[in-house]
Structure 1
Amino acid sequence: MDHHMSEDMDMDMNKGPFMWMWFHTKPQDTVLFSTWNITNAGTMVWACILVAVAGVILEAIKFTRRVIQKNQPNSKKESYFSRLLSTKHFLQTFLFFVQLGFSYCLMLIFMTFSIWLGLAVVIGLSIGFLIFGGKSE
């Protein structure tokens, strides 16, 4: 490989977007959007904090859905369609939509193969489970 070609490739890698196919510890990542580039330790710390908070929020959403489900009356008199069209069911459906979005975003963040971002996902979800993961009864 030509020496100049190698330098050009190195320069391109320093501009981003960064995509790794193996686990790494370097603070060079592009997260979810082409504009969310991690280029140094400081931006990595902030990204990890944000990702961990997203994990806690995801567990809070799951907890909220469980509470709503528990508080929903189990009336046999109510028809399937009236339960389906109830306000609580629409709220649960919206929360499920948000939960899926958060879940897939966290999965994609883990798939950056950054050890630090992966740990942030796991730590955030674990803290969320610690706070919200108990039985809702």
Structure 2
Amino acid sequence: MEMSFQTGLNTVILFDGWKTHDWQGIVGSMIGITLMAAIYEGLKNYREHLYVSASLARLGDRKEPSLFSGVHILQTFLQMIQIVISYFLMLIFMTYNVWLCVAIVLGGAIGYWLFAWQRISTDITECCN
């Protein structure tokens, strides 16, 4: 199998049941993938918001962080969802279908635009988006 970008309409996306055969399938998939990438950015920024809020609350109350706090358990659950979505997006990108790759980039940009405009910190060490 060649590993080069292509613009074909016949693509299997993640599962055998998610296949495209025409422009309607590609456009519908692009919309779903764009939403998935935007949700990924939203989750990432929401987790950061939870972290900052919990850190400020601990500073005010002078409490030690707890492994079993509700906020930490929620952040852990959201991290699991974020990991799944990030690997799905990576695998979709690895179809090398130009239209689907554009949808991922566009969704990431839309998600960042919607959710990161009030971002408190900039983590320059963040990798693997």
Alignment TM-score > 0.5, same fold: yes
The alpha carbon displacement at 1:96 in A equals: 0.6
| Structure 1 unmatched ranges of 5 or more | 1-18
Does residue 74 (structure 1) correspond to residue 52 (structure 2)? The answer is no
Question: How many residues matched?
Answer: 117
- Secondary structure at the aligned position of 2:37 is classed as helix
Tell me the TM-score normalized by structure 1. 0.79
Of the three residues 114, 119, 126, the one matched with 2:97 is 114
The aligned counterpart of 2:26 is 44
Does residue 29 (structure 1) correspond to residue 14 (structure 2)? The answer is no
C-alpha distance in 2, partners of 1:79/1:90? Answer: 16
Q: How does 1:1-137 map to 2 (within 5 A)?
A: 21-72=3-54, 73-75=57-59, 77-80=62-65, 83-137=66-120
Tell me the TM-score normalized by structure 2. 0.84
- Would the aligned equivalents of 2:58 and 2:64 in 1 still touch at CA under 8 Å? no
- Would the aligned equivalents of 1:25 and 1:114 in 2 still touch at CA under 8 Å? yes
C-alpha distance in 2, partners of 1:101/1:20? Answer: 26
The aligned counterpart of 1:4 is none
C-alpha distance in 2, partners of 1:52/1:96? Answer: 20
Change in Cα spacing, 1:120 to 1:36, as seen in structure 2 (3 Å) is same
Once superposed, which parts of structure 1, at least 4 consecutive aligned residues long, lie more than 4 Å away? none
The alpha carbon displacement at 1:20 in A equals: 5.6
Residue type matched to 1:68 in 2? Answer: L
Residue type matched to 1:107 in 2? Answer: M
User: Which protein has greater RCO, CA pairs closer than 8 Å, 6+ apart?
Assistant: 2
Residue type matched to 2:98 in 1? Answer: I
Per-residue CA deviation, residues 25-64 of structure 1 (Å, 9 max, x unaligned), is: 0111000001111111110000000000001111111111
